[in-house]
Amino acid sequence: MKVFLLDEGVLLSSESDYFDCYNMVYDKKWGYHDEGQCYIKDKETAINDAINYVEKGVEKTYAVITSTIIDDSADLDDFPVEDEDYDVNDIIFSVAKINGEIVFGFIDTPKKGFRKYLISQGIWEREVDELLSCFNDDVSEDDLCISSIFDSAFDLASYYMDNVIGTLDPHIEAALDYTELGKNIAESDDEYILLSSSGRIIEFTI
């Protein structure tokens, strides 16, 4: 099954005596002195745990989330993290405390060149890595042209009802769960991506 590997620890600079022992993963620009790793089923939970860990940590605390596959029968509460590649191409989210600031996307990934382009269209820094992880390596700027950004699933459903469905019988409308409707639209239509890191829904021009 697909799960998310949360790797947490403290970054080591090249001046550290232990740098060479810990810089064989990800982009190899830092030493990644890991303090804990675990598998998490839900991406939103993994991202929130990563941010909380870094916010509460000391200078150069880091958290990296990668996408990986483990045995379908695995019990995530008691399944050891082993034989992982810690490949920069598998990163879906990274955050670190550098010079006292929380820095999202501190690791350079192959698609990081699109970061400024996405931010210029209204994507938040904390959303960029997760959003880019939804695209293949051959993604282009044309693929990343944003049409609309909805602050929540509820907002997307409201827009859909107003602009596609129109006026409903008041009894039917009262029974509708707009949040679930919005999630269903986002998950079933290719032009939408629901971001776990913020709950926002991005609509792309197709």
Nearest-CA neighbor of 6 among 55, 39, 34, 45?
A: 39
Would you state the structure tokens that stand for residue 206, as one six-digit string? 């197709």
pTM above 0.75, yes or no: no
Q: Report the amino acid identity of residue 116.
A: K
pLDDT tens digit sequence for 70-129: 888 778 877 888 888 888 888 989 999 999 999 998 998 877 778 888 999 999 988 988
Measure Cα distances from 102 to 61, 136, 149, 161 in Å. 10, 27, 24, 38
Exposed/middle/buried for residue 167 (C-beta within 10 Å: 0-12, 13-18, 19+): exposed
pLDDT tens digit sequence for 156-173: 999 988 887 767 667 566
Q: Tally Cβ neighbours within 10 Å of residue 28.
A: 11
SS3 87: coil
